[in-house]
Each structure stands twice: as structure tokens, then as C-alpha cells.
Chain A
């Protein structure tokens, strides 16, 4: 059968201030009707560039070299802007990584699906709405009629992604590009989106290009896999072969980076010496004033309720749960960002609120955030960022502080020269290393890691995880490791706490995961992971 998409010898560069930077070199790949090709690579390997090349939506500084991109034999590079606009949405669809940014916040969801039908199939508003509703129903949305009239912020992430999928499929395109469609979703939702993907694929003859950094995931859903490194396809073949018998070091590295619960990163649990105990801790957001309550202001929301948890010195406690389950709320209470009721005992100090948390408390409990772009001040040099905790928490001479900064950089595997750089001159993984260094610079007793690897690709995630464990073991620091990645937490944590809608529903040893008497939610979580 002749391929739907056929890329031959395609080369792409970007003009940058430091000259021409090659993004894709001599890319050749085909996708047959009904086939799924998984495109795998670390971030920066050129996956997205290829997607935008196919869609002919490259940025202004792109400079294309030789090669052809053909859809059903027609060279897309020869088409005019008008022809391309008539083709996008009708013959090529796309499902984006983050459904919360891919939908227009001020437009009803029904209209966002219907507009492709109005545009490409020349339907009138009513027929388009009927078809749009049918597609929403087809993607498994329980109340399509109601969803039609909602705005994006009124539905969940998984529901939004179903709307995006309905839009991509609405005109029955020949090719759909999936750009990491489950990365921004939590585990269970992601697994259900993958189920939907499999169903729709079985029903329609659409060819799919599935982009991901997760080789394990792609291996399970793709027919064939192409591995990309630095803009080149280094390996391409049937998914089973690539996964079982990788021929290149790149593929092996990607495979090794996949978190494997059987391969533990941390040592045995430390002896029981209590460090932290939460007793009946409740966090409430949005306190209404008396005047407001009188006039019917909204009731406050409980972010976490009646939490009771304990942590030993040097222990790693994993905290898992879907977004909104209260994981981060817990971190905010312990660091004094969110006011709480109840009792926290930490290093023999008892707190019943945030107002008595002093400098010693804040030094002893450090937090590392998910997104280093937001947590590192972009105007400060790394020296300033790392120097601050050193200066703040231990009086030292300038020479000692400088030595401390260099030592911290070395400890997190960064060259000393980075001290003079700004955060934007570092890669995502390097920035997160700086954030880790900053947390450990204060010599804390407890480090809270709030989804610190979820913005990073698998390979970098594995490095960061190993680094964290090494530091934690060396300094004897206890750690609350908040994540939605069950496999990762099983590699790292000594014990795992599962949170669900503001409650801790399960606490157990990480090695003792798959027993039967787990909470229903924990079981759902486990089965979602095994399906991925």
C-alpha cells in the first residue's frame, strides 16, 4: 500500500545569532494507512521540529534544505499558504501535549469542534453542532450535550484532551500527529486516553505519528518506532525489535532511563528515628470575610484534610496521587506557604500554625519545585542563587561562600564556571540541578521534592533521580518525594503514601506494592501503570 506520509531526505536548520543550527538531518520515514509510527527521542532531538515541518508551520528563522514531505504522494513543500490552510484540519490533524493550553479559553468547547466541520465540510452551524456532539460522544465523554456548552476551564484535563482528539478526528484526516498527548495528564487519565487512541485507531484507517520521549509507552502502542538523536534517525524498525534488541547506544540509553520498579535506586530504609509527624493537619484555601459570608461569598475549599503521616530521619517517603489530590498542599503547609490547622511535629518542635515558623524551621525544611524556570530568579546569576542560602543560614566569609558555591555545583555535577551564568543559559536538567543544589546548600533535615522531574524528559529524569538519591544518602536528609509517576516512586522511595481528593488513603512499603488489600484508588493507579 502506498504510504500516507512519506518524508525523504529532509533537512532543516534554524538561523540563530551564532549561525546556522542544524535541527533535522536527512530524515527519511514512511507511514502506511492505519499504521502508527512512534517517534522517540530526548528533548531537543528534533521531534517537534519534524511535526511542524510536516504541518508546514515552521518559525520564521527556519531554513529548509533538501528533501521532500509528501502526503499521499503530494509534496507539501510545493503548496501555497491557502492550499495548506485548506488541507490542515481536513487531511492532517494534531493532538497537542497540553490540552489546557491547546483550547481557546473563551470559546465554548462545542464551537471549537464544530468550526473545523464548518470550515472544511461546509456544514451549516446546526449540522456541524450535531456532528461535533457525535464526535464528543465517540471520544467517550459522558455528557456530550452538556460539554458542548462548557468552556475549557469548566472541564477536567482528561475531558479537554478528549475534545482535542474529537477535533483532530472530526474531518476524518489521513494523518494525525500526536505530540505526547498523555504527558500533561495524570496516570489514570493518561491510560484512558491511550485506550481511546487504540479504539479510534482500530475504527479508522488513519495513519498516526506518535511523538514521545517515553520509549516504553511508544513501544506498546506503535507498530514501528523511529529513534531520533540530534536531528538524525539513528534506528528505525518494528516496535518489538527496537525495544527487545536495540541496535544503538541512543536507544539503549532511552530504554535504561525508563523507571523500572525492579531496579531500586535508594538503599535500605533507615532505622526508625522520628523526624516529622503530621497529626490531623487540614489546609483550607480561600477564607471568606465575615462581610463576604453575610452576602454569600463562596465557601472555602479544603485542599487537604485531617492528614496524619510520619517520616523517619533519612527516609524517603513517596507521595503519589492525581493532580488536585492535595500532594502540593501538604508541601505548602510544611513550608509555611499555606496556613493549616492541626499539629506538625518536626525535629522535636511542635507547630499548630505557620506563624511561629522561624528561620531555623525554614532552613531545615527545603523545597524543590517542579519548574526551575519559575523557581530560579532569571535575573540572578547562579552564584547569587546558591550564595543566598549559604549566607542566610550560616555566617561565613565571602571566600567561604564562594568555596561553598563551587562545592555545591560540583556536588550536583555542574562545572564551577556555571556560577557566573544566568538560568536561561542552562538546559532544563541543569536548571533543576541548580535548584537541588540550592535546597541542599542550607544543610536541611528534610527536602520536599514537588514533581521535580515531571517537566524533564526520561533520560534527564533518570539522571536527576540518581543525583537526588546520592545527595540524600550522603547528607542523611529525609525526603518527601511528590510525583505522579508510580514507577519512579517505586525506584526511589522507602515508603509510599497515596493521596486521593485531599486524604491519605494508603501508606505502605515501596517493596510491598502489589498486595490485594490496597485502597480502590491505589489499585486503579496500579492497573493504569501496568497498562501504560
Chain B
């Protein structure tokens, strides 16, 4: 990995974010159906609308509007949320932190659960264990989050059982136990599909690696089975799995939207849904941009991890 590569890669990310910002801005503020109407609602008078249009600069040419808007964002002035009466920057910042906790916990869970399942599946290919796991994975992958979430809520958090909190968020500062308990259901819901997907991927990669010449060579060396699987095979099977996982992050961001809403988790997804429902334009724009940035950065992280796992990958 060279500095030049990293610079170019960051340059691409900036370019992608610019395109996203333009799209977001275009959809929310430029398209007909006037932002002022959107904010004020359809029952506003013509005068109110006029005043709002002037205040938001909606009568300026589009490039001036966009330049002004982008300039503010780059300066860190993300505006005020009309509905929540709070600066958007701190609003989005808090939400981003909580969503990151959820996403991070999910990714860790997915890796810890999917890797052993995938490896076991490859080693026990064709056995009953492999078939059962395969079947469960198919089921897991085919049930959408809102169904899983509802089922989990009814079964383990319903009035009859009440084993786990049905929703909400407790900061870690108020007690680690409650913090963790509140995370169980959202993380479980988000993980299910990803575990199904990733474990299948690892199983097939692992199967291929186990059939390769260098694994035979390792057997000829008389190495123990543990060493062959964990040292020789796993590392080579993980690099492609990480590539798949990095694509899954996009899926995870979509899932967060649903899961945060169902479990009342005050993160980015919930904020975005609130913003859409309440026509809070500035919040909508900021939240979307931050999500796009998170996705591009996670892809960059995946590229770097792959290069660490596979010495043949060399970015120059």
C-alpha cells in the first residue's frame, strides 16, 4: 500500500461524496415541489411561502444555492433543525455515534458467529450438520428484518416473557449491563441475515482453499489438522469473505433504518425517518451524507484489511 494509492483512494471518496451531496441537494431542494412548501405544509399561505423562499434563497440560481449549501457544510455549519431546535451537527453527531455502536457490535457478532459456522460447514461438507446449517442459513437470509424484529419482540420482549428490554437506548455511562441488554435484540436482528450470508461465503471459500495444492502440501508436511485449518486455510479463505462483508455494509445501513425504528434506537436511521416524516430538510441532507461517508470509509477499511490478509494484494 503506497501513499499515492491512499491519496488516490481518498480522492475517489471525495468525488463520490460530492456526487452524493449534489444528488441529495438536488432531490431535496432543487426539484419542483418546492422546499418551502415541503417545510410549511400544503396549508401555508402564499405570503408565508414567499417569505420562506426568500429566507432559504430558493429564488437564486441552482449553482449558487448548491455552492452556498456546500460551503456551509464544509465550514461545519450544518444549520439548525427546525423541528428539534438543535444544531444539526450535534444532532447527527450523537445519532452517528449510537448507530456506530450498533453497526460495530453487529459486524463483530457476524464475524465471530459466521466464521466458525462457515469453517465447520466446509470441513463437514455433505454431513447432516452442514445440511442443517445450510437450511437455517437459507431461512435466515430469506426473512426480512422487520419480520425478524417483530418475532423477536413478541417472543422474548413481549408482555408474557419480558426477558429483554423491548427498545430504547441506555448510555454506557449509566450502567454497562443495561447498555448491553438494550443492544441484544437490535444486534441479533441485524446479524441474522449477514451471518447467513457470510457463513455461506466462508464455507465456499474455505471449501475451495481446502482442495488446493498447498493444503495437500501442508498435509504432506505432516502438520496437525488444527494448524492446517487455522493457519494455512483460514487466512486464505477470509480475504474474499471480507470483500463480501464490505458490500454487506451497504445492506447493514439499510437494515439499521428498519431496526432502529422498530427498537426505538435513537441513531441515524431513526433520525432520518424522523426527518423525512417531519420534512426536516437540513437533517435529512446531513444524515444521508453521513451515511454515504460511512459506507465509503468502510469500503476503504475493507480494502486495507484484504491487503493485510493477502500479501499478493498490493495497491500502488
Residues in A lying within 8 Å of B, measured CB to CB = 55, 57, 84-90, 92-94, 96, 98, 101-107, 115-116, 119-120, 151, 153, 164, 167, 291-292, 295-298
- Asked if residues B4 and A297 are in contact (CB atoms below 8 Å), the reply is yes
Q: Give the distance in Å from the alpha carbon of A292 to the alpha carbon of B7 in the complex.
A: 10
Q: Which chain B residue lies CB-closest to A56?
A: B219
Q: Are B221 and A115 in contact (CB under 8 A)?
A: yes
CA distance A295 to B227 in the complex (A): 42
B223→A119 contact, CB < 8 A: yes
Given A116-B221, A151-B311, A295-B214 contact (CB < 8 Å): no
B216 to chain A, nearest CB (A): 7
The residues of B that contact A298 with a CB separation of less than 8 Å are: 316
Given contacts A96-B217, A103-B217, contact A85 B236 (CB under 8 A): no
Are A102 and B213 also in contact (CB < 8 A) when A295-B7, A298-B316 are?
yes
Since A85-B223, A89-B223, A292-B8 are in contact, a sample of 7 more A-B pairs with Cβ atoms closer than 8 Å, ordered by chain A residue number, is: A92-B220, A101-B213, A102-B214, A105-B312, A106-B235, A119-B221, A120-B222
B161: Cβ under 8 A from any A Cβ: no
- Complex: chain A residue closest to B233, CB-CB: A104
Instruction: List the B side residues contacting A296 at CB < 8 Å.
Output: 2-4
CA distance A115 to B216 in the complex (A): 15
Q: Which residue of B lies closest to A93 (CB)?
A: B220
A116's nearest neighbour on chain B, judged by CB, is B221
Is B277 among interface residues, defined by CB-CB distance under 8 A? Answer: no
Task: Say yes or no: A104-B311 contact (C-beta < 8 A), given A119-B221, A297-B8.
Answer: no
B278: interface (CB < 8 Å): no
CB-based contact B220/A55 at 8 Å: yes
Contacts A98-B213, A153-B312, A296-B2 known; A107 to B221 CB distance under 8 Å? no
Q: Which of A115, A120, A153, A295 contacts B4 (CB 8 A)?
A: A295
CA of A89 to CA of B224 in the docked complex: distance in angstroms? Answer: 11
Q: Do A85 and B218 contact each other (CB < 8 Å), given the known contacts A105-B310, A107-B232?
A: no
Which bucket holds chain B's interface residue count? 20 to 34
Q: Which residues of A contact B2 (CB under 8 A)?
A: 296
Q: Counting CB contacts under 8 A, is B59 at the interface?
A: no
B218 contacts across to A, CB distance below 8 A: 104
Which chain A positions have C-beta within 8 A of B52?
Answer: none
Instruction: Check B214 against A101 for contact (C-beta < 8 Å).
Output: yes
Query: Which of A96, A106, A164 lies in contact with B310, CB distance below 8 A?
Result: A106
Counted as pairs of residues, one from A and one from B, with CB atoms less than 8 Å apart, the total is 89
B8→A105 contact, CB < 8 A: no
B214 touches A104 (CB 8 A): yes
Contacts of B316 in A (CB 8 A): 297-298
Across the interface, which residues of A come within 8 angstroms of B225, CB to CB?
Answer: 85
> In the complex, which residue of chain A has the Cβ closest to the Cβ of B3?
A296
Kindly list chain A residues whose C-beta atoms are within 8 Å of the C-beta of B214.
Answer: 101-105
Contact digits for B1-37, partner A, Cβ 8 Å, 1 yes 0 no:
0111001100100000000000000000000000000
B212 within 8 A of A: yes
Q: What are the residues of chain A within 8 A of B8 when measuring CB–CB?
A: 291-292, 295, 297
- The residues of A that contact B223 with a CB separation of less than 8 Å are 85, 89, 115-116, 119
Most buried by B among A57, A92, A104, A120: A104
Q: How far is the CA of A57 from the CA of B7 in the complex (A)?
A: 49
Residue of B nearest to A107 (CB): B232
Shortest Cβ distance from residue B200 to the other chain A in the assembled complex, whole angstroms: 22
Which of A88, A98, A102, A105 touches B311 (beta carbons < 8 Å)?
A: A105
How far, in angstroms, from A296 to B11 measured CA to CA in the complex?
A: 14
The chain A residue with its CB closest to the CB of B9 is A295
Q: Give A209 Cβ to nearest chain B Cβ, in Å.
A: 13
Residue of A nearest to B215 (CB): A104
Bound state CA distance, A89 and B214, in angstroms? 14
Question: Given the known A-B contacts A103-B214, A106-B310, A151-B311, are A90 and B232 also in contact in the complex, defined by CB atoms under 8 Å?
Answer: no
Q: Does B292 contact A (CB under 8 A)?
A: no
Q: Cβ of B309 < 8 Å from any Cβ of A?
A: yes
Q: Give the shortest distance, in Å, between B212 (CB) and chain A (any CB).
A: 7
A-B residue pairs in contact (CB < 8 Å), sample of 27: A55-B220, A57-B219, A85-B219, A88-B220, A88-B221, A89-B221, A89-B222, A90-B222, A96-B217, A101-B212, A101-B213, A103-B217, A104-B214, A104-B236, A105-B214, A107-B232, A115-B221, A115-B223, A116-B223, A119-B222, A120-B222, A151-B311, A151-B312, A164-B217, A296-B3, A296-B4, A297-B8
CA of A92 to CA of B221, assembled, Å: 9
Closest residue of chain A to B221 (Cβ to Cβ) is A89
Whole-angstrom distance between the Cβ of A111 and the nearest chain B Cβ: 9
On whether the beta carbons of B312 and A102 are closer than 8 Å, the reply is no
Distance in angstroms between the alpha carbons of A355 and B292 in the assembled complex: 40
A153 and B311 contacting across the interface, CB-CB below 8 Å? yes
Q: Whole-angstrom distance from the CB of B225 to the nearest CB of chain A?
A: 8
